[in-house]
């Protein structure tokens, strides 16, 4: 995984020996938002999803992460508590690396330090992009999400949500619209996509229908084919 990619075998062994193993069943929370982040969770197998509940009671889904990756590093760095509730979507194996050991790696291993600095820069950029996405219409958010997914065929990075972290923009949007015919797979149900975009399922359904009626996309179950990428980009900017 990127966080530990620059470590030699001895340091990797020290990370393994200094961490505690945990297993989680599908549907079991790894932790809840606000819980103390005393250890860095390293996901070795499985897939997890992150959610939070707003003051108004709306559930926001931040995305999914698949092994191998380190989870919620920001919470461990600032000791401010976990940023979201993480729930196992499949059987998961996790190693918990104590916070002091992780911070010692940040101090002593340049590759780990560079990775953390890159993460913090992405978080700062994401704050601006979340604000910009949050003031757009539901159609604009959906169009932007589709373009982002179409422009990142390699799938989620360690610091990204699943194909999908939507309006939250865990990945940079493509610098130019993709070519026509690119296919995007919707993440689960329309309710999952609604949670990602911060809207209701009915709103997602209506937005998909409008984009389809306008000839911008074609929808077949969970598959969306982008027919008019330039026009979809204009809709995203509206």
* pLDDT value of residue 152: 46
Q: From CA 208, how far away is CA 232, in angstroms rounded?
A: 12
pLDDT of residue 163: 34
Residues of the chain with CATH 2.60.120.10: 2-133
CA-closest candidate to residue 209, choices 178, 201, 177: 201
Pairing of strands 59-66, 47-53: antiparallel
- Beta-sheet strand order (sheet of 217-220): 183-185, 223-226, 217-220
Query: Residue 185 forms beta bridges with which residues?
Result: 223
Task: Determine the pLDDT at residue 97.
Answer: 94
Residues 6+ apart with CB under 8 A from 210: 139
Residue written as tokens 């070519």?
179
24 forms beta bridges with 92
Nearest one of 97, 123, 103, 125 to 41, comparing CA atoms: 97
Bridge partners, residue 22, by sequence = 94
The encoded tokens of residue 235 equal: 């809709």
Burial 187-200 (b: 16+ CB within 10 A, else e): bbebebbbbbbbbe
pLDDT of residue 95: 94
Phi, psi (5° rounding) for residue 90? -140, 170
Q: What was the pLDDT predicted at 42?
A: 93
* Cα end-to-end distance, the chain, whole Å: 38
Q: Class of 138-151+178-237 per CATH?
A: mainly alpha
Q: Which CATH class is domain 2-133?
A: mainly beta
pLDDT of residue 9: 83
CA–CA gap between residue 145 and residue 109 (Å, rounded): 35
DSSP secondary structure string, 167-208?
Answer: TTTSSPPPSSPPPTT-EEE--SSHHHHHHHHTS-HHHHHHHH
Is residue 27 left, alpha or beta, with left meaning phi > 0 and alpha meaning psi from -120 to 50?
left
Q: Where in the chain is the domain with CATH 1.10.10.10?
A: 138-151+178-237
- The predicted structure's pLDDT at residue 129: 56
In tens digits, what is the pLDDT along the chain, a chain of 238 residues?
777 877 878 888 888 888 999 999 999 999 998 899 999 999 999 999 998 876 667 777 778 889 999 898 888 888 778 888 999 999 999 999 999 998 988 888 888 888 778 877 776 665 555 544 545 678 888 888 888 888 743 333 344 433 334 333 333 344 455 556 788 888 878 888 888 887 888 988 999 999 999 888 999 988 999 988 888 887 887 6
Q: Are 1 and 68 in contact (CB under 8 A)?
A: yes
């Amino acid at each position: 995984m990127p966080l530990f990619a620059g470590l030699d075998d001895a340091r990797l062994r020290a990370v393994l020996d200094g961490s505690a193993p945990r297993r989680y069943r599908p549907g079991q929370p790894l932790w809840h938002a606000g819980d103390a982040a005393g250890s860095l969770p390293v996901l070795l197998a499985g897939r997890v999803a992150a959610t939070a509940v707003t003051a108004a009671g709306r559930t926001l889904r931040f995305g999914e992460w698949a092994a191998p990756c380190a989870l919620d590093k920001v919470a461990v760095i600032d000791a401010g508590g976990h940023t979201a509730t993480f729930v196992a979507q499949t059987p998961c194996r996790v190693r918990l690396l104590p916070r002091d050991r992780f911070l010692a790696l940040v101090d002593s291993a340049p590759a780990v330090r560079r990775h953390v600095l890159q993460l913090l820069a992405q978080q700062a950029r994401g704050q601006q992009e979340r604000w910009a996405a949050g003031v757009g219409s539901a159609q604009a958010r959906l169009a932007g999400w589709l373009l982002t997914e179409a422009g990142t065929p390699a799938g989620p990075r360690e610091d990204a949500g699943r194909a999908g972290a939507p309006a939250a923009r865990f990945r940079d949007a493509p610098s130019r619209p993709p070519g026509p015919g690119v296919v995007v797979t919707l993440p689960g149900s329309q309710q999952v996509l609604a949670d990602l975009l911060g809207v209701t399922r009915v709103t997602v359904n209506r937005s998909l229908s409008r984009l389809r009626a306008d000839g911008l996309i074609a929808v077949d179950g969970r598959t969306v084919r982008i027919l008019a990428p330039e026009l979809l980009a204009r809709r995203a900017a509206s």
